[in-house]
Structure 1
Amino acid sequence: MRRLSKILSYLFHPMLMPSLGTFFILNVVPHHSLLPFSIKRIVYIVVFASTCLLPLSLLPLFLQTKVIKSFEMETSRERIAPALSSAIFFFLGYFLLFRLNISSLIESFLLASFFAVILSSVISIYWKISLHALAIGGVTGLILALIFRYGIDLLLLLSIMVLISGIVATARLYLKAHTPLQVFIGYLVGLGVVLLSLLYVF
């Protein structure tokens, strides 16, 4: 069970969730699903590089300089520097997509994710919030925003994401990485920031 929980934590790692959200946008939103694959490929590369590859590439440096004690970052304070550096890369990804002018929706999703990361950094100064729950909550918030904003029938996808969210939350609790409250608040923050940003801000 412990090995399965770790596998789930890696499969649904916070750094992979923006790419998953982008995949949903490019495949379920009508005028986005019709984009040529060459355009979609550019979007995938920009999003994956700026929200996963570049942030993860700094972790060995943080470990070497003792900013973090391990890649698990067990204390809330250890997460502040990696989260802030990730926010910079998130904004870079947003800026590149803004310049390419391919999709204002994906730009908004990345910008909402950026603000969620910034908020998690602030919270981490005082308290250990679940980044896994925050990230997957953000994807759930995206799906809800697509339902309300475009009237797309995504209830099945929403149900699957809620189920996956519960499974990932259970895995994090089983690994004793977080308390139930840290997981619950993380999920609410991610869902709320992305949903409200896409519906009312951007």
Structure 2
Amino acid sequence: MDRILKSISYIFHPLIMPLLGVIFYYSKSPRFIAPEVIQAKLVSLIILTILLPILLYFLLKTLGKVRSMHLSSTKERIYPLILNCIVIIIAIQRIVSPAQAFELYFFFLGILVSNMSCLMLALLKFKASIHMIGVAGLFMFFIALSIHFSININGTLALMAIILGAVATSRLHLRAHSFKELIVGIFIGIIPQIILTPYWL
């Protein structure tokens, strides 16, 4: 059980949540989008939102700014969150601009707001769960897309609810967060998406 719960934290890492949102969007969008365009955007996102943050983490570790990938203290979170905000801004400007896919634009804008909120809390010495922020924000985006495209994805939403609970259980079991930090993380992930949804729904 211990290995399973540890694996959940790695499998549903916050870094992959934006990519999962984009993949889901392209799989459900009724608009025709050339496969070459989709492939180019997915490759760009993998490089920008996954590989680049990993390289930046190793740079920060070399410089002594972080001790481990778990970012156990609020002080360790500051530089990674600042860099991630910059990465998301680049993604918004270069990959998911409103002229290309306004749904994804607002999804990433919500991610940026969530990241900035988490950064502000870290500066105030509060460690909100980044895992819960990522999964909760993705969950809300799926709900909004189901309404926007008028599609039935109840199975996907049920699975997302199970994943949300599994990630929360994993973080509690690993003693990475308190119950309060998990709840705050859920709200930070969901609320920006809810606020921005009316602009594209």
User: Contact conserved, 1:22 with 1:106, CA < 8 A, in 2?
Assistant: yes
Q: Which amino acid aligns with 1:133?
A: M
Note the C-alpha offset of 1:171. Answer: 0.6
TM-score (norm 2): 0.92
- The residue that corresponds to 2:147 in the other structure is 148
Q: Does 1:50 align with 2:65?
A: no
Please show how residues 36-115 of structure 1 align to structure 2 within 5 Å.
36-98=34-96, 101-115=99-113
Matches of 2:168 and 2:56, distance apart in 1: 26
Q: Which protein has the bigger helix share? A: 1
Note the C-alpha offset of 1:5. Answer: 1.7
- The residue that corresponds to 2:181 in the other structure is 182
Matches of 2:28 and 2:60, distance apart in 1: 38
- In structure 2, stretches of 5+ residues that fail to align are none
Shift of the 180–198 alpha-carbon distance from structure 1 to 2, 3 Å rule, reads same
- In structure 1, stretches of 5+ residues that fail to align are none
Q: Deviations over 1:128-164 (max 9, x none)?
A: 0000000000100101211333322222211110111
**SS at 2:198 equivalent:** helix
- The residue that corresponds to 1:167 in the other structure is 166
Q: Which amino acid aligns with 1:73?
A: L
**SS at 2:17 equivalent:** helix
Matches of 2:195 and 2:156, distance apart in 1: 19
RMSD value, Cα: 1.8
Note the C-alpha offset of 1:201. Answer: 7.5
Q: How many residues align?
A: 200
User: Contact conserved, 2:97 with 2:105, CA < 8 A, in 1?
Assistant: no
- The residue that corresponds to 1:116 in the other structure is 114
**SS at 1:153 equivalent:** coil
**SS at 1:178 equivalent:** coil
Q: Which amino acid aligns with 1:163?
A: I
- The residue that corresponds to 1:7 in the other structure is 7
Identity %: 25
Note the C-alpha offset of 1:100. Answer: 9.3
Note the C-alpha offset of 1:13. Answer: 0.4
Q: Does 1:24 align with 2:27?
A: no
Note the C-alpha offset of 1:24. Answer: 0.8
Note the C-alpha offset of 1:101. Answer: 4.1
User: Contact conserved, 2:102 with 2:200, CA < 8 A, in 1?
Assistant: no
Matches of 1:3 and 1:117, distance apart in 2: 28
TM-score (norm 1): 0.92
Matches of 1:107 and 1:193, distance apart in 2: 13
Note the C-alpha offset of 1:99. Answer: 5.9
Matches of 2:153 and 2:98, distance apart in 1: 28
Shift of the 99–196 alpha-carbon distance from structure 1 to 2, 3 Å rule, reads closer
**SS at 2:182 equivalent:** helix
Matches of 1:98 and 1:18, distance apart in 2: 11
User: Contact conserved, 2:130 with 2:185, CA < 8 A, in 1?
Assistant: yes
User: Contact conserved, 2:103 with 2:200, CA < 8 A, in 1?
Assistant: no
Q: Does 1:139 align with 2:138?
A: yes
